[in-house]
A = this chain, B = another copy of it.
Amino acid sequence: MSKEKVAIIGAGNGAHAIAGHLGMQGFPIRLYNKFEEEIAHIREQGGVTIEGAVQGFGPVELTTTDPKPVIAWADVIMVVVPAFAHRFVAETCAPCLRDGQIILLNPGRTGGALEFANVLQEQGVTAKIRIAEAQSLIYACRISGPARARISGIKQQLGLAAFPAAETSAVLEMVNPLYPQFHAADSVLDISFDNIGAVFHPGAVVLNATAIEAGQADEFYGDMTPSVVQFLEAIDRERLAVARAFGVEIDSAREWLLKTYKGVTGDTLYERIQSNKAYYGIKAPKSLKVRHIIEDIPTGLVPIASLGKLAGVPTPACHAIIDIGGILVERDFWAEGRTAERLGLADMSVDEIREFVRVGA
């Protein structure tokens, strides 16, 4: 049986790693990206060199800024872009899609698959495609040179859910040959609320905004003080409360740290963060216009707060960071972010949404 044809959308760290690593394993790869300057090296070299935990050269048969020959051709479309670009990618894919294709968001952040599906519906797409989202990126990786990526780690397990959840097993059948690590989550709500970046990133940046903008912040996690972490736990409690209102039980940030990293000690979230050696050396951003703000707020805190409002769960800590973050970078995250309306969930009740993510419209 021939291998699945894989389209890669994007040209960042994750897109380089997935293209290279899957190419190494013999999957036919084509890559689309909006900006030519970000992909010229891959075209010149005919693929991506991978170094680190795995090593080799993965050929990419077509590297282009033209979406059509990439998207229409593929069996599996891997969307590996910042979540705020999902809407643009969905609009780009819409005219090229055909029956039987799978779109996998790597990762979806909060509400990715729902927003993607909503855009395709707005665009009048009638092709029978399946949309799924992964809980996070499968690699720890960085671009290490032109058409070159270093993979420092590969996750052993990663949750995946299709929208609707009734199609998750069909999606897994197609993507497990690529990544056996993917396993089924209950629904996209589980994946969506399990967004730990939304807890750690924007709050920590806002509460250290002065030093970050001055370029004087040092370690991202190491700088965190007890009261700052106390605030991050307030965001986490809101996230868990909103999830629970939708029947989703997920790990708290405190539990997640203990499960995810070896050698984490202590009872409080502060102690667990400070004892986590995997965080040592992760530098604080040097600007406020970073993904911690411009990605994690509109595709993390906004959908959590918006779904919270829909479910009657107050989220003042999320609200505060959305409002301040928007003022700091001069963006209206309530207008551009994933509100219930943007996710196609407006006017639904909690129970209707739970049913919707299970079986679809």
**B-contacting residues of A (Cβ < 8 Å)?**
204, 206-211, 213-214, 216-217, 223-228, 230-231, 234, 288, 316-317, 319-321, 323-324, 327-330
Contacts and interface: CB of A to CB of B under 8 A. Distances in A.
Given A209-B207, A211-B210, A214-B223, A323 B319 contact: yes
A225 B230 contact: no
Contact of A227 (B216, B225, B288): B288
**Ordered nearest first, which 8 A-B pairs have the shortest CB separation?**
A320-B320, A208-B210, A213-B225, A207-B209, A316-B323, A320-B323, A227-B328, A234-B327
Nearest to A235: B327
A169 to B, nearest CB: 42
A210 B207 CA distance: 6
A230 B328 contact: yes
Nearest to A226: B213
Given A317-B324, A320-B323, A323-B319, A209 B227 contact: yes
Contact of A225 (B210, B317, B320): B210
Given A227-B209, A228-B209, A327 B323 contact: no
23 contacts: A204-B210, A207-B209, A207-B210, A207-B328, A208-B211, A209-B225, A210-B211, A210-B217, A211-B211, A213-B225, A213-B226, A214-B223, A227-B288, A227-B328, A228-B328, A230-B327, A230-B328, A230-B330, A231-B327, A316-B319, A317-B327, A320-B320, A320-B324
Nearest to A320: B320
Contacts of A216: 211
Which residue among A217, A225, A319 has the maximum number of chain B CB atoms within 10 Å of its CB? A225
Contacts of A316: 319, 323
Which label, helix, strand, loop or mixed, suits the secondary structure of the A interface? helix
Copies of this chain, complex-wide, total 2
A105 to B, nearest CB: 30
A308 to B, nearest CB: 14
Nearest to A288: B227
Contacts of A208: 208-211
A268 to B, nearest CB: 14
A207 B324 CA distance: 9
A323 to B, nearest CB: 4
B228 A213 contact: yes
A141 to B, nearest CB: 28
Contacts of A228: 209-210, 213, 328
A212 to B, nearest CB: 9
Nearest to A224: B210
A319 B319 CA distance: 9
Contacts of A329: 227
Contacts of A319: 316, 319-320, 323
Given A210-B211, A319-B320, 17 more contacts: A206-B207, A207-B207, A207-B209, A207-B210, A208-B208, A209-B227, A209-B231, A210-B224, A210-B228, A213-B226, A213-B228, A214-B225, A228-B328, A317-B327, A319-B323, A321-B324, A324-B324
Nearest to A213: B225
Nearest to A329: B227
